[in-house]
Amino acid sequence: MAISERMKRKPKETPIAADFGAAGAPMDRGHPFYFGFVATIGALSAFVLMRALASASQVFVLILVALFLATGLNPAVEAIRRRGISRAGAVSIIFAAVIVFVGLFAALIIPPVITQGTNLIETAPSLLESLKNNATIANFNDHYGVIDTLQKKLSSVTSDGTLLITAFGGVIGVGKSVLSGTFTALTIIVLTLYFITSLPQATELGLKLVPASRRPRVAALTEAIIARVGAFVGSQILVSFFASVFMTVLALILGLPSPVAIGIIIFICGLVPLIGHFLGAGIYTIIALTHSVTIGIAAF
């Protein structure tokens, strides 16, 4: 019975596809409207990306600085590793040496900097007054009053001891500057420690993203870049060391205070690429000017 009922059922009719007409020609990608639309989307995407990168530029700068320091310290770590010490142990030794150096730097530099800074602020008006002994400068000051204006400005700022606070934009500005500098230094230290510890693993992971056909060449170039950066940092340290020794001896000859602290300042400034030695020479000259203009010129 059930079979006969199934046989009597009519088969379902196949639905007829709707006729939407013939497909039109594909969009002309060379049409000005299409090109303008795509170009606008691309420009907006690039603008948004650049704004995002600009808002995070400080983070990228810290990462690049930490990566540069890690690459520069890598040769020292590898030299210790060749003596049979693990990479973690080598990194610990290097960072312990860096911490000792920073502590020594702070102990030797901070007191003389405070003393010399105070001395410079107190003697700045008299230094400007001594410039009037030069006939050319005195004539220039008589016509334009530059030195007199600077003396009045220095006197108004330093009379109540608010030069430091004024320079940093008030008490809140001083606090923000201290906190920002401390946070930046700690961030660079942590990132440098991370990068130098995981540098081989990070390099290997990056090489895995390169096509296999180009991997050997990219690996060789990467090793060469790391070696060159390490050699540059090593040579910069060596040049800074010799410059600091020379300036320390010169400070002893000129009778400048705290010659060892001055030498460490020159050493630290010399580590800055391109402008470091000029910066150190400027600081050295300012310290010498606190004694006399003649010694300042000799130091310069």
Q: Is residue 40 part of a domain?
A: no
- 258 and 248 in contact (C-beta within 8 Å)? no
Q: Is residue 173 part of a domain?
A: yes
User: How high is the pLDDT of residue 16?
Assistant: 56
User: How high is the pLDDT of residue 290?
Assistant: 67
Number of domains in the chain: 1
pLDDT, tens digit, 9 for 90 and up, residues 201-225: 888 888 888 888 888 888 888 888 8
User: How high is the pLDDT of residue 134?
Assistant: 67
Q: What does pLDDT average to in each consecutive run of 10 residues of the chain (300 residues)?
A: 53 58 67 78 86 78 84 83 85 86 77 69 69 72 74 63 53 66 82 84 84 86 84 84 87 80 82 82 79 72
Q: Is residue 23 part of a domain?
A: no
Q: Is residue 141 part of a domain?
A: yes
pLDDT, tens digit, 9 for 90 and up, residues 145-185: 777 777 776 666 555 555 555 555 555 555 677 777 778 88
3-state secondary structure the chain: CHHHHHHHCCCCCCCCCCCCCCCCCCCCCCCHHHHHHHHHHHHHHHHHHHHHHHHCHHHHHHHHHHHHHHHHHHHHHHHHHCCCCCHHHHHHHHHHHHHHHHHHHHHHHHHHHHHHHHHHHHHHHHHHHHHCCCHHHHHHHHHHCHHHHHHHHHHHHHCCCCHHHHHCCCHHHHHHHHHHHHHHHHHHHHHHHHHHHCHHHHHHHHHHCCCCCCHHHHHHHHHHHHHHHHHHHHHHHHHHHHHHHHHHHHHHHHCCCCHHHHHHHHHHHHCCCCCHHHHHHHHHHHHHHCCCHHHHHHHC
Q: Is residue 139 part of a domain?
A: yes
User: How high is the pLDDT of residue 264?
Assistant: 80
Q: Is residue 248 part of a domain?
A: yes
Structural domain containing residue 73: 53-299
User: How far is the C-alpha of 82 from the C-alpha of 97, rounded, in Å?
Assistant: 18
User: How high is the pLDDT of residue 197?
Assistant: 84
Q: Is residue 1 part of a domain?
A: no
User: How high is the pLDDT of residue 2?
Assistant: 47
Q: Is residue 7 part of a domain?
A: no
User: How far is the C-alpha of 214 from the C-alpha of 222, rounded, in Å?
Assistant: 12
User: How high is the pLDDT of residue 180?
Assistant: 79
